[in-house]
Amino acid sequence: MNKKITGRAKSCVTHVFLIIFAFIQVYPLFWLFEFSLKDNSEIFGGNIAGLPKHWRFGNYVTAFFKANVIKYFLNSVLVTGITIAVTLIVSAMSAYAISRMIWKGRETTLKIILMGMMVPIHAALLPLFIILSKTHLLNSYASLIIPYIAFGLPMAIYLFTSFMESLPKEMEEAAAIDGCGIYRMFMLIVFPLIRPAVATVSIFTFISSWNELMFAVTFINKAEFKTLTVGIMSMVGAYTTKWGEIGAGLMIATIPTVIMYLLLSEQVQKSLVAGAVKG
Amino acid sequence: MQKILSNKKAIALFLFPTMFLMAVFVVVPICMSAYYSLLDWDGIGKGTFIGFQNYIDLIADERFLNSVKNSLLYAACSLLIQLPVSLILAIIVANVRRGEKIYRTTFFIPVIISSVVIGQLWQKIFNGDYGLLNAFLSLLGIPGQDWLGQESTALAAAFIPNLWQYIGYHMLIMYAGIKSISPDINEAARIDGANKVQIAWKITIPLLKPILQVCVTFSLIGALKIFDLIYVLTGGGPFFSTEVPTIYMYKTIFDSFRYGYGSAIAIFVIIECMILTFVLRLFFRDKEKY
Amino acid sequence: MKKVMRKVGAMLLAASMTVSLAACGSSKDESGSAKDSDGQITLTIWHQSVADTDPVKKIIEDSVEEYHELHPNITIEQDGVTGEQYKTKIKTAFAAGEAPDISYMFSGGSFVKPYIDASYLLPIDDYVSEDTLNSVLPGMLDGCTFDDKLYTLPTVTFLANLYCNTEMFEDAGAKIPTTWEELLDAIDKLNAAGYTPMILGEKDRWPGMYMYDIISARTAGNAGLEEAFGDPSKFNSKPFIEAAEKLQELVNAGAFNKNMMSMSYDEMVEGFAAGQAAMLYQANWVHPSIQAEDSPTNGKVSCIAFPVIKDGAGSITEFSGGSSDGYYINANCEHPKEAVEYLEYLSKKIGQVGYQQGAGLPCWDTTGVDTSGLTPLDTESAGLMETGTSYISWWDNILSSEDSETYKDLLAQLIGLQITPEQFCESMSKLSPSDFY
């Protein structure tokens, strides 16, 4: 009896602790929301954490109409969408070759690919710019999509490889006995099996390309191709900036990320759990 | 089956897109940076080839050494503070009976918010004038500080948001690892009379080792490349006290027009990452023997 | 398989070498301009006026259509990015040989000068019309001229002033200062009344630079500064040490906000506008923040010249500023004549309309321009400029980029009381001579 009570008390303490921590983790979203409804005098004045005195929904109106956010938003959707789709296909193929197929140098290849994660992105800016200019890709969606894919691949391949290694081989063996070739096997058997990992790769690729700023600023000169982060940053003035409107822009940019995550989080869980054993 | 999986054409086809993209857009840029690092070049006009002079200068550059020290310190903090905290949280969340799903979902949220937002928020928290932290301390009667503006506290203040932001990330990976451990093992241990802490220490953590290695590697590489948040929070100041190599590199290239020298720092970061991940691998392999 | 891999490897290697060799070779080839068979010309311009708070944004955007109407064969393509990102972008584009026909450049040694030295930019003497030159105010072409060649035209100019919140001064019983002693006295009184006397955002390092720029101009005089730029060993002399001491004197007198080291430029200006301090030393581009509709200090701010220092060689009519960032033409531009014509049109337009809307002080003949839209603060600041006898640009326009960084870093240390005035001047004396003096 006594033990049961202490046990319950303990679990209560644990929950209180977890709830506090959960609150801390969600607070940035809440903070961004109230930030987006303020003006400079509140943001830089005394009222930085409290609710705004006047709820300035006008900030959203400005962000939407003056800063052309809708157009940039669609561009971001397009760029990020294609980036995710191509990254998924390309990395799943390579991960399959690395984790399942039989050839020498698989380990080494994987290690070399993972080195891609170590490049400090700012140093790659000029070389990439030169490559894109020589290939006449500057000022197109491709000038963003291709580098995003290239820099997203190491992580994606890593996640897929560890997930595939955890999958049982029976399905493929059965398919092989039925006379299924390698390409059909990959598309019809393997790809459906790795769905949870697809979610994980999608969300990571989404986060990095959706929020990317430096490439997006540098590789694009035409308003028609600009992405959302660039659009929001263009509200930062050289000498004067209305931060509340930027907050509204950031809120508009953040909501899809959160929705995307909430939709995929269950699958992300599954894939990480499945891929976990092999590490 | 063997035959199908040894299909050389298929292997080449599967690998080609990755190899091509990474060669052209990752390897070539690294090679170009490596070449620039051998130049005395301002990013304008023609550079002069000076061999390894930039690297020789780096070794004697106190500001650079300080920045390396800071990033190693940060790496140490992420290994010794961030990962253990994530691990403890992961174990707790994996063991609670109710609300598991809500916790692990909310804990991940900071990871998906852009650094600009996180940076702005923490600036308001640490603000020496009207910051949240000072307001809280004043309730306890403790005088406020200019956390990001004084050398004694700036480094810690710049590190904390970074450490915090990715706790949810590592927690999620570790949580997944714990969930994949068969419940039978825990059950057996419980029958043998082990309490929760003992189970965590003796069973969960050893079984998690492969996952921990992943977290340690990611965390280390991330730490050595850390840029965004520190740049927003302090810009490397005051007096270089929070500068890390990537920030020094950025300033050298784009503010001081020293493209060659900055590229040398970039190459240094890549090599540093490679060496340290290699050392880590050795460390983990060594442990495996026992 | 090995064979295949080797082939692929060799191919990739070859591909990568071509790319990198091409990159290392001539970095200048095509620029963005193009001419179709029917005589259509496209000119590209990059600028950093993107926020709605910047009146120049609208001027440039409108000019695209207006100019096309005036010259149907010319199409202007404009692209704007702000601040730090703009610098990164334009530097990368120039390094890769992909710079636009016309680009906004920050003037002076730390930005535009290296491009001029490397012949990336076009001298416009041969193209610019006499009429245009005549309507530029006297002296305003100086900042656009390098090695006796004209590279750009001025637009509006900026001048650093001391902005005082008159309400706080009155409340504290302090006098608007004209001398150093009065300044110190005002600081004491403001402190006593519970106000932060002066706001400084030293996180970005350049606001502190403006402080030392003007204090040393007061101790050494603009002539003395010019001498030191030409021969930096002069920095290690009495007037400069004195200026450094004066700056630390301000710090020790509690002139600045305690969180200056973590305060950004934005927080500084918005903080002043929100009434967090009584004084701000900045250029007149801060007016929009102070005059914002919701700004509590709107209408309560007056601007004055920085106080003089007794026995100093500088006078109250010497100013920091007067520099003009401007639009520069790519040396590879295929239509230099048309580009210069547009430059004349745009610079003059920004000069006149921008002045009208309070974007800055005029560089162009403004007779006949309707100035009724100017606020009292704009007029006050324009009045100060008329009293000016000599201008020295911000030092990061004068020093090389590397030295500018060193200077700003040293200054942050000086303000943070990390180094003594003597150490500061000793380090300053080791800078390279400026190309401009």
Instruction: Verify that C294 and C404 share a domain, yes or no.
Output: yes
Instruction: Verify that C263 and C306 share a domain, yes or no.
Output: yes
C4: pLDDT strictly greater than 60: no
C-beta separation of A157 from A110 below 8 A: yes
Please tell me the least confidently modeled range out of B26-35, B92-101, C329-338.
B92-101
> Can you tell me the distance from the alpha carbon of A37 to that of A174, in angstroms, rounded to the nearest whole number?
59
Per-residue burial over A131-162, b if 16 or more Cβ lie within 10 Å, else e, is bbbbeebbbebbbbbbbbbbbbbbbbbbbbbb
Instruction: Verify that C286 and C190 share a domain, yes or no.
Output: yes
pLDDT for residue C9: 46
Nearest to A59 by CA among A32, A27, A26: A32
Q: Phi/psi of residue B167, each to 5°?
A: -60, -45
pLDDT for residue C29: 38
With H, G, I as helix, E, B as strand and everything else as coil, classify residue C198.
strand
Domain assignment of residue C86, yes or no: yes
Q: Which of B9, B11, B101, B225 to mutate: most A Cβ within 10 Å?
A: B11
* pLDDT, mean of residues C171-194: 94
Instruction: Verify that C203 and C352 share a domain, yes or no.
Output: no
Domain assignment of residue C1, yes or no: no
Asked if B14 reaches chain C (Cβ–Cβ under 8 Å), the answer is no
C-alpha dist (Å) from residue C226 to B114, C407, C424, C436:
46, 16, 19, 9
Alpha-carbon Rg for chain A, nearest whole angstrom, is: 23
Q: Which of residues 97-126 of C touch A (CB under 8 A)?
A: 97-98, 100
How many structural domains are present in chain B? 1
A64: pLDDT strictly greater than 90: no
- The answer to whether A221 contacts C46, with C-beta atoms less than 8 Å apart, is yes
Kindly report the CATH number assigned to the domain that includes residue C252.
3.40.190.10
For A87-124, the pLDDT digits (tens) are 999 999 999 999 888 888 888 898 888 888 888 888 88
Instruction: Verify that C353 and C289 share a domain, yes or no.
Output: no
B203 lies in which domain range?
Answer: 59-289
A72: left (phi over 0), alpha (psi -120 to 50) or beta: alpha
Instruction: Verify that C99 and C240 share a domain, yes or no.
Output: no
How many structural domains are present in chain C? 2
Instruction: Verify that C51 and C131 share a domain, yes or no.
Output: yes
Amino acid (one-letter) located at A167: L
pLDDT for residue A4: 66
**Chains with ≥3 CB–CB distances under 8 Å to A:** B, C
Average pLDDT, chain C: 85
- The answer to whether B239 contacts C418, with C-beta atoms less than 8 Å apart, is yes
Q: Which of B13, B22, B196 to mutate: most A Cβ within 10 Å?
A: B22
Q: Which of residues 125-144 of B touch C (CB under 8 A)?
A: 126-129
Asked if A214 reaches chain B (Cβ–Cβ under 8 Å), the answer is no
Asked if A250 reaches chain B (Cβ–Cβ under 8 Å), the answer is yes
The minimal CB distance from C12 to the residues B12, B19, B234 is found for: B19
Domain assignment of residue C24, yes or no: no
- What is the rounded (10 degree) CA torsion for A169, A173, A174, A177? 180
Q: How far, rounded to the nearest angstrom, does the alpha carbon of residue B172 sit from its chain's CA centroid?
A: 16
Instruction: Verify that C73 and C217 share a domain, yes or no.
Output: no
**pLDDT confidence band for C302 (50 / 70 / 90):** very high
> Can you tell me the distance from the alpha carbon of A230 to that of C311, in angstroms, rounded to the nearest whole number?
51
C119: pLDDT strictly greater than 70: yes
Q: Which residues of C touch B44 (CB under 8 A)?
A: 94-95, 114-115, 118, 120
C277 lies in which domain range?
Answer: 160-320+399-428
- The answer to whether C94 contacts B16, with C-beta atoms less than 8 Å apart, is no
- The answer to whether A257 contacts B104, with C-beta atoms less than 8 Å apart, is no
Strands C74-80 and C41-47: parallel
The minimal CB distance from B150 to the residues C8, C261, C402 is found for: C261
Instruction: Verify that C83 and C130 share a domain, yes or no.
Output: yes
> Can you tell me the distance from the alpha carbon of C224 to that of C220, in angstroms, rounded to the nearest whole number?
5
Domain assignment of residue B248, yes or no: yes
For C360-383, the pLDDT digits (tens) are 888 888 777 777 778 888 888 888
Model-level ipTM above the cut of 0.95: no
pLDDT for residue B173: 83
Asked if B234 reaches chain C (Cβ–Cβ under 8 Å), the answer is yes
For A209-259, the pLDDT digits (tens) are 888 888 998 898 888 888 888 888 777 776 777 788 888 888 888 888 888
Domains delineated in chain A: 66-276 (1.10.3720.10)
Nearest to A276 by CA among B179, C161, C156, B77: B179
Kindly report the CATH number assigned to the domain that includes residue B215.
1.10.3720.10
Residue of B nearest to A158 (CA): B214
Domain assignment of residue C394, yes or no: no
Instruction: Verify that C152 and C200 share a domain, yes or no.
Output: no
Which neighbouring-strand residues pair with C157? C361
C-beta separation of C104 from C327 below 8 A: yes
Q: Which of residues 234-263 of A touch C (CB under 8 A)?
A: 234-243
Q: What is the DSSP letter of C330?
A: B
> Can you tell me the distance from the alpha carbon of B243 to that of B245, in angstroms, rounded to the nearest whole number?
7
State percent of chain B over pLDDT 90: 37
**Range of A252-266, B76-90, B164-178, C10-24 with top mean pLDDT:** B76-90
Domain assignment of residue C340, yes or no: yes
Nearest to B262 by CA among C93, C106, A129, C402: C402
Instruction: Verify that C56 and C150 share a domain, yes or no.
Output: yes
pLDDT for residue B86: 93
Please tell me the least confidently modeled range out of A116-120, B192-196, C151-155, C414-418.
B192-196
Q: Which of B146, B155, B234 to mutate: most C Cβ within 10 Å?
A: B146
Domain assignment of residue C44, yes or no: yes
Asked if A16 reaches chain B (Cβ–Cβ under 8 Å), the answer is no
Residue of B nearest to C113 (CA): B44
- The answer to whether B29 contacts A128, with C-beta atoms less than 8 Å apart, is yes
The minimal CB distance from B149 to the residues C117, C260, C418 is found for: C260
With H, G, I as helix, E, B as strand and everything else as coil, classify residue C334.
coil
> Can you tell me the distance from the alpha carbon of C395 to that of B97, in angstroms, rounded to the nearest whole number?
64
For B145-202, the pLDDT digits (tens) are 888 888 888 999 999 999 999 998 888 888 888 887 777 887 888 888 888 888 888 8
Strands C156-157 and C361-362: antiparallel
pLDDT for residue A67: 67
H or E stretch covering C46: strand C41-47
For A152-167, the pLDDT digits (tens) are 999 899 888 888 887 8
Asked if B273 reaches chain A (Cβ–Cβ under 8 Å), the answer is yes
More confident: C176 or C371: C176
The minimal CB distance from C98 to the residues A133, A230, A237 is found for: A133
Nearest to C405 by CA among B231, B216, B257, A97: B257
C-beta separation of B2 from A183 below 8 A: no
Domain assignment of residue C393, yes or no: no
The minimal CB distance from C416 to the residues B42, B239, B259 is found for: B239
Instruction: Verify that C186 and C271 share a domain, yes or no.
Output: yes
